Structure 1
Amino acid sequence: MMKKYSFLNYLSLLLLLGFMGSISSCQKDNYDAPKTKFTGHLVYKGTPIQIKNNGLDVNKEGFSAVYFELWQDGFGKSAPIDVYLNQDGSFSALLFNGEYKLIIPPGQGPFLSIANTETGSDTIPLSLNGNKEMDIEVLPYYMVDKADFTVGTDSVVSAAASVSKIITDNRAKDIEYVGLYVNRTSFVDEDNNIAFKTIQGADIADLSNITLSAKIPKDISGGNIGIADQNYFFARVGVKIAGVDDMIFSDIVKVELK
């Protein structure tokens, strides 16, 4: 009887420990959802960096292919939180309060990271204790300073653009091409357009005076442009930098057919 009683006690203890472990596990899994909002823009001297939409959420804001990483010590995590940028350079993330390290991975975007004065590296310390809005300064290779658009009676959209070369030291890169892009929606880039025109960088004589024209097709998805389908479009100018995947763009402008 003594051995049987000890075995039952041992079994009961195992069941009790298992039950307590299950409760503890449930408690760990029932954390409140993150509520702290971290927002801002990637900017150059206060001007947002205009980039490409990659179509992850075309029904809402649309995210770009460019992102930065947030690392947080503890919580048993070894992977970063990726925060994707909207095509206007803005971002928004819901996070827990705490201490983070913000890093822009090498090769992300048409720009270079700027060394943080506190860390002496491209790692930016981020402390969250409630909602926070913060712009992240970067150093672009080029900026589109101006892009003016006009529309002719023959559905030709023309652009007059001015581009500045920002990085001029040994990190500088050439322009591969400059493009004018027109689309039916406000998501406009080299992959999202109904009309475009490019000029090779070697053919640009003056970065402050770049002109491009693209004709909107007469028929798109069975509709007659300007009559039965749509009489307004969206345009922007983009710069493709040699050796850099991501283009930098001008603001998106709504244009109307005459």
Structure 2
Amino acid sequence: MRPRFYFLTAALLVLFLGSCKKDNYDAPATDFNGRIVYKDEAINVQYGNVYFELWQPGFGKSGAINVNIDQEGHYSAKLFDGNYKLVFSANQGPFLWPKNAQGAQDTVAVNMSGSKTMDIEVMPYYMVRNSVFTAAAGKVNASCKLEKIITDVNAKDIERAVLYINKTQFVDGSNNLTNQELTGAALADLNNLSFSVTVPTIVPTQNYVFARIGVKISGVEDMIFSPLQKVQF
């Protein structure tokens, strides 16, 4: 019985080691990072709401790698070396992505052979320009200009513009202490928008907030924002 026991133990050990070898692949170690830009200016969005897809041809039915964009337009991913296809799916982001001859979302070839930094050019519907934030008498005041970038048949109107303030650097519709929204007639002059909000009580007390202006475009889920600004009282 003892030889048979040793044989069975040795067989199980070989099976276990073989299984471990199959499971312990190296983790992806190649860095792919950059920004989403329009004419070298970062596109500011809501953190975690906008992403692009990376597909690696030749890997059967494996799914896309979703790469999130942070609120200041930056992205970062760990990949294996190889060839990828980059695409924004329809209705992702406050911008248009090029289409191919068949009318589908076009792809951009990305070759990873060592780490790569790459800015990705998009066409936003609008850009928030000349944003200014000040504090006085317990209020945060702001102003900006909205530049309409897409003016052809794909042009869209603005649904609302919103001043958001928050006690942390994450500032958007889901992360704010308070906000002021402009709609309708208040949007008549896109060259001169003005906002003002009263700063609520902050616990624990701090003498600053972070502010951004967000723009909701009609028929587009994701907002575009001004750059983040720290406002001292």
Matched, 1:220 2:202: yes
- Matching of residues 83-162 of structure 1 within 5 Å: 83-115=67-99, 122-152=106-136, 154-162=137-145
Alignment-derived partner of residue 51 in structure 1? 45
Q: In 2, distance between residues paired with 1:207 and 1:184?
A: 28
Residue deviations 1:95-120 (CA, integer Å, cap 9, x gap)? 00001011111111111113589xx9
Q: 1:236 maps to which residue?
A: 212
Please tell me whether the aligned partners of residues 178 and 237 of structure 1 are also in contact (alpha carbons under 8 angstroms): yes
State the TM-score, normalizing by the size of structure 2.
0.88
Q: Which residue of 1 aligns with 2:64?
A: 80
What is the aligned partner in structure 1 of residue 4 from structure 2? none
Q: Give the match for residue 66 of structure 1.
A: 50
The equivalent position to 1:250 in structure 2, one of 207, 218, 226, is 226
1:21: how far off?
7.2
How far did 1:77 drift?
A: 4.5
CA RMSD of aligned residues (A): 2.4
Aligned residue for 1:27, secondary structure, equals helix
Whole-angstrom distance in 1 between the partners of 2:219 and 2:225: 17
The one of 32, 35, 40 aligned to 2:29:
35
1:191 aligned to 165, 174, 179, which one?
A: 174
Whether the 8 Å CA contact 1:176–1:200 is kept in 2: the answer is yes
Identical columns (%): 50
Give the length in aligned residue pairs.
224
SS of corresponding position for 1:69: strand
User: TM-score w.r.t. structure 1 length?
Assistant: 0.80
Aligned partners of 2:43 and 2:100: how far apart in 1?
A: 19
Structure 2 gap segments, 5+ residues each: 1-6
The answer to whether the 8 Å contact 2:87/2:105 transfers is no
**Is the radius of gyration larger for structure 1 or structure 2?**
1
* Unaligned 5+ runs, structure 1: 1-11, 54-63, 224-228
